[in-house]
Amino acid sequence: MSALTDFVEPVEEAPEPYEHYLNHKYGLASWLLTKDHKRIAILYLISVSLFFVLGGVMAVIIRLELTTPEGDLVQADIYNRLFTMHGILMIFFFLIPAIPGVLGNFLIPLMIGAKDLAFPKINLLSWYIYVVGGLFTFYALLAGGVDTGWTFYAPLSTSYTNTPVITVALGIFITGFSSILTGLNFVVTIHRMRAPGLTWFRLPLFVWAHYATSLIQILGTPVIAITILLLAAERIAHVGIFDPKLGGDPVLFQHFFWFYSHPAVYIMILPAMGVVSELVAAFARKPVFGYHFVAFSSIAIAVLGFLVWAHHMFVAGISVYAAAVFSILSMLVAIPSAVKVFNWTTTLYKGSISWETPMLYALGFIGLFTIGGLTGVMLATLGIDLHVHDTYFIIAHFHYIMVGGAIMGYMGGLHYWWPKITGKLYPRFWSKVGALTIFIGFNVTFFPQFILGYLGMPRRYHAYPNEFQVLNVMSSAGATVLGLGYLIPAIYFIWSMRYGKDASANPWGAIGLEWETNSPPPVENFDEIPTVTWGAYEYHESKVTPSLPPPRPKGEVVRV
Amino acid sequence: MMQPSQGFLPNAPLFPPRASEMARDIDLLFFTVLGVTIFFSSLIAILIFYFMVRYRRTSPNQVGVYMKEGGGTMWLESAWIIVPLVIALGIFAWGARIYFAAARPPSDAKQFYVVGKQWMWKIEHPGGRREINELHVPRGQAIKLKMTSEDVVHSFFVPAMRVKADVVPGRYTTMWFNPDTVGTFHLFCTQYCGTEHSRMVGRVIVMEPADYERWIGGAATGTGGSIASGEDLFVSKQCNTCHRADSTARAPMLWGLMGKTVHLEGGQTATADENYIRESIVNPTAKIVAGYQPIMPTYLGQLSEEEIIQLIRYVSSLKAPSATEQAPGVNPPVPSPAHEGAR
C-alpha cells in the first residue's frame, strides 16, 4: 500500500449515503452516552467554547473599566471578582482542556491509526468530571464569584476573603481529575495503540507534544489537588499551614501553588506547539526541520518546566541563592522553545508555502510566541524582575504566550482540522479576514501593556494614576478589535456546519493518517487499520495531488 | 505629582522617572535584553515574511524541497542551541549581579520600618517619626526598609527606584534604595491584597538632606519615638521580670544581643536579627538558647506588628554593658535617638 492517498476524482453520479460518526446515530442520549473519542471531542468543543465566551465577557468588562483611571464602571470588589474569575475560567476551564480535549481527543487516535483511545469510557468520564467541576465554578460565579486572584495566595484566600473560595477551589480540584485521566488515556494510547509500523519517530509532532503534555498533567495536577486540600483545611478547620497567625507560612503556599501552576503553563502551550508543527509541515509541504530536536524539545520543556516554579517568587523574600538557581533553570527552559522556533522557521526554507488560513495562524503563533518567550527571558532575569514583577509587563508577557500562543495554535488547529471534524469547508476569504483581525487586535491590546508595565502600573489595579490612561485606552480599543475578531470565526464556523461546501478526505493535500480516512471520519475511524511504512511529513516521496474543488466523500476509505 | 516627560503626548509618558543609581543599572540591563529580544523577534519575522513570499506555492501540486537530516543540519541545530544558551547565561549573570546588590544594603543605610496592612502603608523613620502612605527620605542616603505585614502579603514597589519586595506577614523582608534625585514618586502595592488593593498607594518624597532634617524636625529630638514605647512595652508586658541583666535571670540577657551569634539547645546557632527576635516573641519555643528552659509564653496575637517593631527597636538599642559601667538594671538608660539613628 502506498504511503499516500490519491484523491478521488470528482464523481458525477449521486453519492451513496455515507455513514460517519456524526450521522450514524441521533438524539441527545447518543451524544451524552457516547464513547466515541470524536464525539467526546465535540462535547469538549462546545463546553470549552462556552467557558471561553464567559471568560471573554469578563475580559471585556475589565478592559471597559480600565478605559478611565477612576474605578467608575464597576466597584472594586466586583472588579476583583471579574479578573479572578476571568483567570480561573480561562486557565482551568478553557486553556488547559481546549487543545487536548478537542483536538487531542479527536486526532490522536486518527493520527496513530487507532479506532479510539485506550479507555473510551474513562474518556467520557473525563468530560463529565470536567463538566461537574465547571458547574461548581459556575455556581460560585452565580453566588458572587471569588476575589482572591486566580493564584489564591494565602493568607488572603484562607483567612481574609468572604467570598466562596472553597466552592471554586473544589471546582478546580474536581476538574483536575479530568485533566489527569485525559493525560493517562493519551499516554496509554500513544504507547499501546499505534498502528503497525508507526514507530516513535514516525509519529506526528502533535502526538509527541501531547505525550509531553500528558506527563505534566499526570505528575503535576495532583500537587494542585493537595494544595487545594491544604487551603481548605486552613480555611475551614483553621489548621495553621499558611497563615502566620495560625503558625503557618504564606510563602509555602506560593511554592505549592507554582509547583503545579508553572508546569500548567506548559500544559497550555505544548499542545499548541504540536499544532503548529503540523501546520508548518502541511502548508510548506515538507518535513519539519530537525524533527528529532522538535520532538525532544517537547519532552525537555515538560521536564525542565517542573524545575522553574520559584521564578514567580523572586521578590517574595526567598533566599538569593535559591533565586539564582531558579533564574538559571528558567533560562534553560527557554532553549528548547527557541529550538522549536528556529526549526519551524527553517522548515519554511524552500518550502511550498500556501497562505491558507491555518498557516496564517501558525505563522502568527511563531511571531507572537517569540515575543512572549523572549519577554519571559526578561522576567527570568533577576535584575529586571525586581522592577517588572507583578506589573502589566507580566500581564502582557503571559497573554502573548496564552492568547498569542495557545489560542492562536488552537484557532489554527480548528481551521486546519475543521473540514475533517465536520466534513464542511468554511469561507476562505472571511477566515483570512478573521485571522488578520485577531492578529491586529491582539497586538494592539497587549503590546501597550508591556510599556505600562515598565512604567510601573501594577497588575490587578481597579483604578490607576492618570498618566497611564492613554496606553490603557489603546489596549481597550485593541480588545474591541480582538473581540470582533473572535466573532468572525464563531459565525462562519457555525454557518459552515449547515451551509458550507462538503470537504474532501484531504482538502489541504496534507500527509497524515487522519487525512487518509474520510471527512468526517467513519465511526471506527478506519475501515482497516493502516500499516505505516513512512515517516511523518514525507512529502518529497509523495504524489500529493490535491484536487480542488474538493470531491464529495464516497462511502469508503479512499486509498491508492 | 510626577514630572511628565516631554513627548508628543505630554501626559502619557513612555518611560518611568528614575531616581537612583540602581534604576540606571536596571534600565541598562533591560534595554540590552530588549535589544536581544528585538534582534531575535525581527530575525524570525523577517525570515518568515521572506520565506512566505519567496517560496510561495505556485502550483497546487507543488511540494517543498526535501532537506535531508544529517551532519549538515547538526551544526545548525548545535548553533541555535549553544548561541542562545550563551546569551541567556550572560543575561542571567548580569541580572544576578544586580539582584544580589539589591539584596545587600550598604552598612551605612538608614533603617526605616514599614508595616503593610489592608490597605495602607505605615512607616516609621529611624528617629521614631511615623507617617502613613508617604515616605520622606533624604537624597543621597541609602534607605533600608525592614518590612512586615499585619495581615496578608503586600508588596512595596517604587517604580522610580526599579525595586520592589513582598511584605510578608510573620517575617521581615528587606529592601533598600539610594535616591539621587529630588522629587515625588509613586509608591504602589503590587501584591494583590484584597478589595482596595489599588488604593494601597502612596508617595515617596525625596528631599535635600537639609530639607529632610527640617521636615523631620522636632520628632527627631523628642521622646525617642518607638524606642521609648518599646521600653514601656518591655515593662508593661513584664518582659523585664525574666530578661534581666543579672546572672540569676531565668531568660537570656538582651543587652548587646542584636547582631550577635546565639548558641541554641542542640548545638545549632542563629544570628540575632529582626526575624530572630520576632520569632522569639511570637513563637518562643522555636529556638531555645542553650542553657535556658523553654518557659516563655507566646505573645502571638497579643502584640501588634508595630508593637513588635517597637520592642525590637528597644532591644536593638540595648548596648552590651562595659566593664566600667555597672550592670544595667530593669531600666537601662535609653540611648538618644540621634545616636540610634547613626547605628
| Greater pLDDT, A311 or A14 | A311
What per-residue confidence (pLDDT) applies to B5? 46
What per-residue confidence (pLDDT) applies to B340? 39
- The closest CB to that of B11, out of A76, A285, A466, belongs to A466
CB contact under 8 A, B85 and A324: no
Residue type, B153: V
Q: Indicate the range of A4-18, A224-238, A332-346, B63-77 predicted with least confidence.
A: A4-18
The three-class DSSP label of residue B203 is: strand
State whether residue B335 sits within 8 Å of chain A by CB: no
State whether residue B168 sits within 8 Å of chain A by CB: yes
Homologous superfamily (CATH) for B225-341: Cytochrome c-like domain (1.10.760.10)
DSSP 8-state code for residue A112: T
Please provide the DSSP assignment of A341-383 as one string. Answer: HHHHHHHHTT--B---HHHHHHHHHHHHHHHHHHHHHHHHSHH
A558 is a domain residue:
no
Task: Record the cell numbers describing residue A331, joined without a space.
Answer: 533560562
**How far is the C-alpha of A116 from the C-alpha of A91, rounded, in Å?**
27
What per-residue confidence (pLDDT) applies to A347? 94
Please confirm whether the linkage preceding B255 is cis (ω < 30° from 0): no
Q: For residue range B196-235, what is the model confidence (pLDDT) as tens digits? A: 999 999 999 999 999 999 988 755 444 456 677 888 888 8
Q: Which residue is it, cell 496578608?
A: B152
- The closest CB to that of A317, out of B168, B201, B301, belongs to B168
**How far is the C-alpha of B228 from the C-alpha of B335, rounded, in Å?**
10
What would you report as the CA-atom Rg of chain A, rounded to the nearest whole angstrom? 23
**How far is the C-alpha of B219 from the C-alpha of A68, rounded, in Å?**
40
Q: What is the 3-state secondary structure (H, E, C) of A113-163?
A: CCCCCCCHHHHHHHHHHHHHHHHHHHHHHHCCCCCCCCCCCCCHHHHHCCC
**How far is the C-alpha of A232 from the C-alpha of A67, rounded, in Å?**
37
pLDDT band at A553 (very low <50, low <70, confident <90, very high): very low
Q: Indicate the range of A177-181, A484-488, B199-203, B330-334 predicted with least confidence.
A: B330-334
The percent of residues in chain B predicted with pLDDT above 90, rounded, is 51
Q: Stretch B288-296: mean pLDDT, rounded?
A: 85
Q: Stretch B57-71: mean pLDDT, rounded?
A: 82
Please report, for chain B, the start and end positions of each structural domain, with discontinuous segments joined by +: 1-7+16-50+105-222, 225-341
What per-residue confidence (pLDDT) applies to A9? 52
What per-residue confidence (pLDDT) applies to A10? 52
Please provide the DSSP assignment of B104-156 as one string. Answer: S--TTPEEEEEEEETTEEEEE-TTS-EEESEEEEETTS-EEEEEEESSS-EEE
State whether residue B16 sits within 8 Å of chain A by CB: yes
Q: Please tell me the total count of domains within chain A.
A: 1
Q: Indicate the range of A391-400, B21-30, B319-328 predicted with least confidence.
A: B319-328
**Domain boundaries, position A204:** 28-541
Residues 6+ apart with CB under 8 A from B324: none
What per-residue confidence (pLDDT) applies to A103? 97
Q: Stretch A373-378: mean pLDDT, rounded?
A: 96
**How far is the C-alpha of A530 from the C-alpha of A516, rounded, in Å?**
9
Chain A, residues 169-228, CB within 8 A of chain B, namely none
What per-residue confidence (pLDDT) applies to B4? 45
Contact list, A315 vs chain B (CB under 8 Å): 155, 164-166
Task: Record the cell numbers describing residue A302, joined without a space.
Answer: 515538560
**How far is the C-alpha of A438 from the C-alpha of A485, rounded, in Å?**
5
Question: Over 70: is that where the pLDDT of A408 sits?
Answer: yes
State whether residue A338 sits within 8 Å of chain B by CB: yes
H-type alpha helices, A305-319 = none
**Residues A317, A319, A323, A324, CA torsion sign:** positive
Question: Over 50: is that where the pLDDT of A146 sits?
Answer: yes
**How far is the C-alpha of A166 from the C-alpha of A228, rounded, in Å?**
9
A272 is a domain residue:
yes
| Greater pLDDT, A69 or B305 | A69
The three-class DSSP label of residue B201 is: strand
Contact list, B93 vs chain A (CB under 8 Å): none
What per-residue confidence (pLDDT) applies to A560? 31
Contact list, B90 vs chain A (CB under 8 Å): none
Question: Which of A458, A130, A525, A401 has the alpha carbon at shortest distance from B166?
Answer: A458
State whether residue B283 sits within 8 Å of chain A by CB: yes
Q: Stretch B290-315: mean pLDDT, rounded?
A: 85
**How far is the C-alpha of A299 from the C-alpha of A279, rounded, in Å?**
20
**How far is the C-alpha of A307 from the C-alpha of A330, rounded, in Å?**
8
Please provide the DSSP assignment of B234-279 as one string. Answer: HHHTTGGGTS-SSTT-SS---TT-TT-EEEBTTS-EEE-SHHHHHH
B1-7+16-50+105-222 CATH: 2.60.40.420
pLDDT band at A15 (very low <50, low <70, confident <90, very high): low
Chain B, residues 111-140, CB within 8 A of chain A, namely 118
State whether residue B227 sits within 8 Å of chain A by CB: no
- CATH code for the domain of A439: 1.20.210.10
Phi first, then psi, for residue A84 (nearest 5°) are -65, -50
- The closest CB to that of B33, out of A315, A353, A381, belongs to A381
What per-residue confidence (pLDDT) applies to A552? 39
Q: For residue range B149-190, what is the model confidence (pLDDT) as tens digits? A: 999 999 999 999 999 999 999 999 999 999 999 999 999 999
When the pLDDT of each residue in chain A is averaged and rounded to a whole number, the result is: 91
When the pLDDT of each residue in chain B is averaged and rounded to a whole number, the result is: 85
Task: Record the cell numbers describing residue A337, joined without a space.
Answer: 522553545
A548 is a domain residue:
no
Residues 6+ apart with CB under 8 A from B266: none
Question: Over 90: is that where the pLDDT of A404 sits?
Answer: yes
Question: Over 50: is that where the pLDDT of A556 sits?
Answer: no
Please confirm whether the linkage preceding A458 is cis (ω < 30° from 0): no
Question: Over 50: is that where the pLDDT of A548 sits?
Answer: no
pLDDT band at B142 (very low <50, low <70, confident <90, very high): very high
A13-30 as b/e: b if 16+ CB within 10 A? eeeeebebbbeeeeeeee
**How far is the C-alpha of A253 from the C-alpha of A227, rounded, in Å?**
8
A238 is a domain residue:
yes
Task: Record the cell numbers describing residue B156, joined without a space.
Answer: 512595596
Chain B, residues 91-110, CB within 8 A of chain A, namely 91-92, 94-100, 102-103
Burial class (CB in 10 A: 0-12, 13-18, 19+), B331: exposed
- Residues for chain B: how many in total? 343
Q: How far is A74 from chain B (nearest CA, A)?
A: 12
Task: Kindly compute the dihedral angle of the four CA atoms of residues A231, A232, A236, A239, in this order, to the nearest 10 degrees.
Answer: -50
Q: Rounded to 5, what percent of chain B is helix, strand, coil?
A: 35, 20, 45
Chain A, residues 283-312, CB within 8 A of chain B, namely 284-287, 289-293
| Greater pLDDT, B219 or A280 | A280
**How far is the C-alpha of A64 from the C-alpha of A72, rounded, in Å?**
10
CB contact under 8 A, B26 and A386: yes
**Residues B31, B33, B39, B42, CA torsion sign:** negative
DSSP 8-state code for residue B184: E
pLDDT band at B92 (very low <50, low <70, confident <90, very high): very high
- Residues for chain A: how many in total? 560
> What ipTM does this complex have?
0.90
| Greater pLDDT, A427 or B322 | A427
State whether residue A474 sits within 8 Å of chain B by CB: no
What per-residue confidence (pLDDT) applies to A13? 57
Q: For residue range A110-142, what is the model confidence (pLDDT) as tens digits? A: 999 999 999 999 999 999 999 999 999 999 999
Question: Which of B199, B159, B118 has the alpha carbon at shortest distance from A461?
Answer: B199
Q: How far is A46 from chain B (nearest CA, A)?
A: 33
What per-residue confidence (pLDDT) applies to A528? 86
Q: How far is A464 from chain B (nearest CA, A)?
A: 7
Task: Record the cell numbers describing residue A247, joined without a space.
Answer: 503558625
Q: Indicate the range of A39-48, A96-105, B95-104, B123-132 predicted with least confidence.
A: B123-132
What per-residue confidence (pLDDT) applies to B199? 93
Q: Stretch A289-305: mean pLDDT, rounded?
A: 94
- Same fold for the pair B1-7+16-50+105-222 and B225-341: no
Phi first, then psi, for residue B134 (nearest 5°) are -135, 145
Q: For residue range B252-262, what is the model confidence (pLDDT) as tens digits? A: 888 888 888 88
Contact list, A70 vs chain B (CB under 8 Å): none
pLDDT band at B72 (very low <50, low <70, confident <90, very high): confident
- The closest CB to that of B102, out of A161, A367, A386, belongs to A386
State whether residue A433 sits within 8 Å of chain B by CB: no
Q: Indicate the range of A38-47, A278-287, A443-452, B311-320 predicted with least confidence.
A: B311-320
Q: For residue range A266-275, what is the model confidence (pLDDT) as tens digits? A: 999 999 999 9
Please confirm whether the linkage preceding A250 is cis (ω < 30° from 0): no
